[in-house]
């Protein structure tokens, strides 16, 4: 499963406006409701925030992978955004978060998406890739870079 299989271009945001965790998660959920991928926006946001309360999904190096299961979701869906200024996310390394990769999985998924998750973590572990992404001037470029990296991974 490639990342672009569940991340369409319209779910990418080049510059998140939110100042805090909940704000930016709301912005990304809005891309999902706007495209029709998610119907219950408030439900998705609540599930994501509930998960954050168990411990931040900020995995360090400016990257966060917020995620939740949602009743009514049919397949794995993602949204991706960049906060140019960085937001306080209570990440493991206390660094502000720039890159937010949001995942919504269907209820009852028994882990078929585990490889996809591994792929995303691997992608963002690369400092070189993160530096490349910084050069993107709009959502199109951001998406193209993701696409390219996705294709390059084995």
| Positions that interact with another protein (CB under 8 A) | 47, 50-51, 53-60, 63, 65, 67-69, 92-94, 103, 105, 109-115, 117-119, 121-122, 124-125
Question: In angstroms, rounded to a whole number, what is the distance separating the alpha carbons of residues 116 and 131?
Answer: 22
Looking at the Cβ atoms of 24 and 48, the one nearer to another protein is: 48
Both tokens of 131, joined, read: 């530096």
Give min distance, CB of 141 to another protein, in A: 25
Please answer whether residues 119 and 6 qualify as being in contact, where contact means their C-beta atoms are separated by less than 8 angstroms.
Answer: no
Cross-strand pairs, 63: 60, 99
Give min distance, CB of 2 to another protein, in A: 12
Looking at the Cβ atoms of 12 and 120, the one nearer to another protein is: 120
Looking at the Cβ atoms of 36 and 108, the one nearer to another protein is: 108
- For 14-42, give the DSSP string: SS---SBHHHHHHHHHHHHHHTTS-S-HH
Give min distance, CB of 119 to another protein, in A: 7
């Amino acid at each position: 499963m490639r990342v672009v299989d569940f991340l369409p271009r319209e779910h990418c945001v080049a510059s998140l406006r939110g100042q805090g965790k909940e704000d930016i998660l709301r912005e990304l959920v809005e891309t999902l409701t706007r495209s029709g991928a998610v119907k219950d926006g408030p439900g998705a946001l609540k599930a994501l925030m509930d998960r954050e309360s168990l411990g931040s999904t900020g995995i360090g190096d400016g990257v966060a992978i917020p995620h939740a299961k949602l009743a009514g979701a049919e397949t794995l869906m993602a949204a991706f955004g960049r906060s140019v200024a960085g937001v306080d996310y209570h990440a493991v390394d206390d660094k502000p978060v720039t890159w937010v990769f949001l995942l919504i999985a269907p209820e009852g998924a028994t882990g078929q998406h585990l490889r996809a998750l591994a792929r995303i973590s691997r992608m963002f572990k690369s400092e070189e890739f993160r530096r490349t992404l910084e050069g993107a001037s709009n959502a199109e470029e951001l998406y193209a870079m993701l696409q390219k990296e996705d294709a390059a991974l084995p």
